[in-house]
């Protein structure tokens, strides 16, 4: 076993600090991630996590507007951004290692001292509504929301991260402050720094974040896929191409069979030699893009295939994907196919760890979502331990015709038309 990649320290206020020293690097990536995302919202505040992400870049007391913040990062040649998921939110600055302290200072100033100016909030509402319009007009992206609503219904995992136009337009300064006061607490916050760390990094983080208050935050309501039989959901949209996502409920991220599930998803639809790509695109010419993926959450998950397909041959496309789901459960994968999928998954992990940003993001995700850091060696060993029998056992447990779900965007309206295809009939 190689040396651990990550070091974890806990400040006196409960805030965790994860570092990864990469002395070969010339840069440093500074992150703050929180166990707070769109599933921590209510129906009335849906979209506030994402909206808050926008507002953190709009100005603080020391840096009064967005230009001041961007200008300071530009002045060190850095890059900064943020992302909002359903279970976590992240903010980062990446820059040359010599400017680490500037990056940390700007990052923490944004998160702790943003003004949430009411006029700026009103202005940004228009930006987010246009972001929504772009999202709605991009079927490949919007399909995720259609599928999640199908799978999880009217609970936070079934809502769009971006929210609705109604909730965005109704947001006030008090909406933001109430959300942040509840969830942006030290016990839910993890700081991360990777790259050429330099000296006193822990002391520097403590000086900036060591007094973040903690408090009782609670947890979001447990979620699970709706008890269903076969289900189909169509979002009608005139188009020359249909986008389909077909899948089944799967496991939470910390499930004992997570590595077997990773390999299963890779065999099914990871890469250009996967079963779905080979059969749907290369052999039948039904799609330009097609892939398979497992999306895991802390208490549930889903294994799915997604593709953009010819509307005139949509029945054949759906039936082909259904067949591939059934085949991987009915027939053991070959030893060669297992090894190829294992090497693919391991290779993608290793490549993601080549730079400081990818490295610290890997460690932070597991710490934020699971409360522990999974070292890369642990994941690589887990993938190496997967057997042919493991893959088939997991496939048989997850994939059954009465568990299949189909979300579809295209010029169709009759959902009952597609239901027989999910059973191969």
Catalogue the active-site residues: 53
CA distance 190 to 372: 11
Q: At what angle do helices 388-398 and 335-352 cross, to 10 degrees?
A: 90
Query: If DSSP codes are grouped into helix, strand and coil, which group holds residue 146?
Result: helix
Q: What is the per-residue DSSP string for 15-45?
A: -EEEEEE-TT-SEEEEEEEES--GGG--TTT
Q: Report how far residue 20's alpha carbon sits from residue 4's, in angstroms, rounded to the nearest whole number.
A: 9
Q: Angle, nearest 10°, between helix axes 258-269 and 335-352?
A: 100
CA angle 106, 109, 111 (to 5 degrees): 110
**Which of 156, 160, 132, 129 is CA-nearest to residue 145?**
160
10 SS3 class: strand
CB-count burial class (<10 Å; 0-12, 13-18, 19+) for 87: buried
170 contacts 54 by C-beta, under 8 angstroms: no
| CB 109 within 8 Å of CB 60 | yes
Give Cβ neighbours of residue 418 (< 8 Å, ≥ 6 apart).
232, 234, 315, 318, 406, 408, 412
Q: Which helix (H) or strand (E) holds 80?
A: strand 79-84
Residue 66 to residue 197: CA distance in whole angstroms: 27
């Amino acid at each position: 076993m190689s040396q651990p990649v990550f070091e974890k320290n806990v400040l006196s206020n409960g805030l965790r600090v994860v570092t990864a020293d990469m002395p070969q690097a010339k840069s440093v990536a500074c992150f703050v991630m929180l166990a707070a995302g769109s599933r921590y919202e209510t129906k009335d505040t849906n979209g506030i996590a994402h909206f808050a992400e926008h507002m953190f870049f709009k100005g603080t007391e020391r840096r009064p507007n967005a230009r001041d913040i961007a200008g300071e990062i530009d002045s060190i040649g850095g890059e900064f951004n943020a992302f909002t998921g359903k279970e976590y939110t992240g903010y980062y600055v990446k820059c040359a290692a010599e400017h680490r302290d500037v990056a940390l200072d700007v990052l923490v100033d944004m998160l702790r001292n943003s003004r949430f100016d009411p006029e700026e909030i009103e202005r940004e509402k228009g930006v987010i509504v246009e972001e929504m319009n772009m999202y709605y007009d991009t079927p490949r992206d919007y399909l995720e929301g259609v599928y999640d609503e199908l799978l999880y219904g009217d609970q936070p995992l079934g809502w769009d991260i971006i929210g609705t136009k109604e909730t965005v337009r109704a947001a006030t300064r008090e909406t933001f402050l109430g959300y942040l006061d509840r969830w942006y607490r030290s016990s839910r916050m993890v700081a991360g720094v990777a790259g050429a760390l330099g000296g006193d990094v822990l002391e520097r983080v403590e000086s900036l974040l060591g007094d973040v208050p903690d408090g009782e935050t609670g947890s979001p309501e447990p979620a699970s896929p709706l008890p269903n039989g076969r289900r189909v959901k169509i979002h009608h949209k005139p188009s020359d191409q249909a986008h389909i996502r077909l899948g089944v409920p799967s496991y939470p991220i910390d499930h004992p069979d997570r590595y077997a599930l990773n390999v299963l998803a890779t065999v099914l639809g990871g890469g250009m030699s996967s079963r779905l790509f080979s059969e749907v695109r290369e052999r039948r010419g039904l799609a330009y893009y097609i892939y398979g993926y497992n999306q895991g959450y802390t208490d549930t998950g889903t294994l799915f295939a997604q593709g953009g397909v010819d509307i005139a041959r949509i029945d054949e496309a759906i039936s082909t994907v259904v067949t591939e789901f059934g085949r991987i459960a009915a027939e053991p994968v070959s030893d060669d196919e297992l090894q190829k999928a294992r090497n693919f998954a391991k290779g993608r992990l290793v490549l993601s760890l080549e730079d400081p940003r990818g490295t610290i993001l890997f460690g932070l995700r597991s710490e934020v979502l699971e409360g522990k850091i999974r070292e890369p060696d642990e994941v690589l060993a887990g993938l190496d331990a997967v057997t042919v029998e493991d893959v088939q056992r997991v496939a048989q447990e997850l994939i059954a015709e009465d568990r299949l779900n189909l979300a579809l965007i295209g010029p169709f309206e009759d959902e009952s038309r597609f239901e027989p295809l999910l059973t191969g009939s």
